[in-house]
């Protein structure tokens, strides 16, 4: 699985770092700072005062690549509360540093870089790449969990409505019980898997794909074996690895280079097990 920041702050604080400011005014040159600490303080001041001009000065004219418009007041409060609890500068050599906030040490995704004259600036391009890396990491963790949950749902299906056979699809056809999900009238008719299945299918729009992944559930012709597969909806943007599981319960992973989903007949030799 690709590297990623697993900490809950990534999921909770700042969301996707979408903070709100009024539309930026005229573009201005990005300000240099004598120390990384001074650069970090300037960023926090801009966030605390919701000052779009200051934010453009700190991060550069393209700051909305990191802070798209929208109402995220609560996310701002959470970030500032984390900063108040604890904050420091984490150095990476003598030319790169990160602003860390909160007791967990969550790092702001845009690093600070020291230029040839010894002055510090936020590296917005590196920050955009880091945000994508973290997004992919979060999505891959969610995809792995989704594959495991679907494999467990297959076991429940076989013990219940499948009568010893596994489901052949993710969502049941109308008036059928051949998938892991169907709309239930009451608890007695509850499916093995919940309505998240509706966002997991291969035909789900890209912006609505479950954790940036698409899922497939298949069963062998005799119904005695199954395979659950998850692959990135957008390769290298929403995810990198494809994940698969079968009756063994073990989740395997492989980078297929954007080749898409695999099926029951795909040889999984060479796939690597996902760490538990």
52 touches 22 (CB < 8 A): yes
> Phi first, then psi: what are they for 252, rounded to 5°?
-110, 160
Q: Dump pLDDT digits (tens) for 132-185.
A: 999 999 999 999 999 999 999 999 999 999 999 999 999 999 999 999 999 998
- Model confidence at 27, pLDDT cuts 50, 70, 90, reads very low
Please check whether residues 88 and 153 belong to one and the same domain: no
97-112 mean pLDDT: 98
pLDDT at 79 over 60: yes
- Number of domain units in the chain: 2
Report the Cα–Cα distance between both ends of the chain, in Å, rounded.
Answer: 12
Boundary-marking domain end, from 55, 89, 122 = 122
Please check whether residues 148 and 110 belong to one and the same domain: no
- Model confidence at 1, pLDDT cuts 50, 70, 90, reads low
pLDDT at 21 over 80: no
Answer yes or no: is 2 within a domain: no
Residue 3 has what pLDDT? 43
Please check whether residues 67 and 92 belong to one and the same domain: yes
Question: pLDDT > 70: what percent of the chain?
Answer: 89
Q: Please name which of 216, 224, 233, 228 lies closest in space to residue 274, comparing C-alpha atoms.
A: 228
216-234 mean pLDDT: 96
Please check whether residues 28 and 61 belong to one and the same domain: yes
Residue 29 has what pLDDT? 84
Residue 70 has what pLDDT? 82
Residue 276 has what pLDDT? 75
- Model confidence at 262, pLDDT cuts 50, 70, 90, reads confident
**For the chain, where are the alpha helices, taking DSSP H only?**
8-12, 36-49, 52-59, 73-85, 124-159
CA count, 13 A, side-chain hemisphere, 36: 22
Boundary-marking domain end, from 65, 89, 122 = 122
CA distance 189 to 3: 41
69-78 mean pLDDT: 87
- Model confidence at 20, pLDDT cuts 50, 70, 90, reads very low
CA angle centred on 161, ends 160 and 167, rounded to 5°? 105
Domain that holds residue 174: 135-273
66 touches 127 (CB < 8 A): yes
Predicted model pTM: 0.84
Q: Dump pLDDT digits (tens) for 105-134.
A: 999 999 999 998 999 999 999 999 999 999
Please check whether residues 159 and 115 belong to one and the same domain: no
201 touches 215 (CB < 8 A): yes
Please check whether residues 263 and 155 belong to one and the same domain: yes
Boundary-marking domain end, from 66, 96, 122 = 122
- Model confidence at 28, pLDDT cuts 50, 70, 90, reads low
CA distance 55 to 141: 32
Please check whether residues 36 and 108 belong to one and the same domain: yes
Residue 6 has what pLDDT? 46
Q: What is the mean pLDDT of the chain?
A: 90
Residue 69 has what pLDDT? 85
pLDDT at 16 over 50: no
Answer yes or no: is 127 within a domain: no
């Amino acid at each position: 699985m690709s590297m990623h920041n697993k900490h809950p702050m990534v999921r909770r604080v700042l969301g996707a770092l979408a903070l709100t400011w009024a539309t930026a005014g005229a573009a201005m040159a990005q300000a240099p700072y004598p120390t990384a600490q001074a650069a970090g303080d300037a960023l926090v001041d801009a966030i605390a005062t919701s000052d779009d001009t200051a934010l453009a000065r700190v991060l550069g004219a393209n700051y909305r690549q990191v802070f798209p418009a929208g109402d995220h007041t609560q996310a701002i409060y959470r970030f500032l509360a984390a900063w108040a609890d604890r904050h420091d500068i984490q150095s990476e050599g003598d030319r790169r540093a990160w602003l860390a906030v909160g007791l967990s040490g969550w790092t702001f995704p845009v690093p600070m870089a020291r230029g040839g004259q010894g002055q510090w600036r936020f590296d917005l391009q590196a920050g955009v790449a880091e945000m994508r890396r973290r997004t992919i990491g979060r999505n891959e963790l969610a995809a792995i969990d989704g594959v495991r949950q679907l494999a467990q749902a297959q076991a429940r299906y076989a013990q219940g409505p499948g009568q010893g056979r596994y489901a052949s699809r993710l969502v049941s056809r109308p008036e059928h019980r051949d998938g892991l999900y169907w709309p239930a009238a009451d608890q007695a008719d509850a499916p093995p898997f919940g309505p998240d299945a509706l966002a997991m299918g291969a035909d789900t729009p890209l912006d609505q794909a479950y954790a940036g992944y698409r899922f497939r559930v298949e069963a062998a012709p005799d119904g005695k074996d199954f395979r659950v597969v998850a692959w990135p909806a957008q390769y290298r943007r929403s995810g990198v690895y494809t994940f698969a599981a079968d009756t063994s319960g073990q989740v395997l992973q492989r980078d297929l280079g954007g080749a898409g989903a695999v099926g029951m007949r795909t040889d999984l030799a060479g796939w690597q097990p996902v760490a538990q």
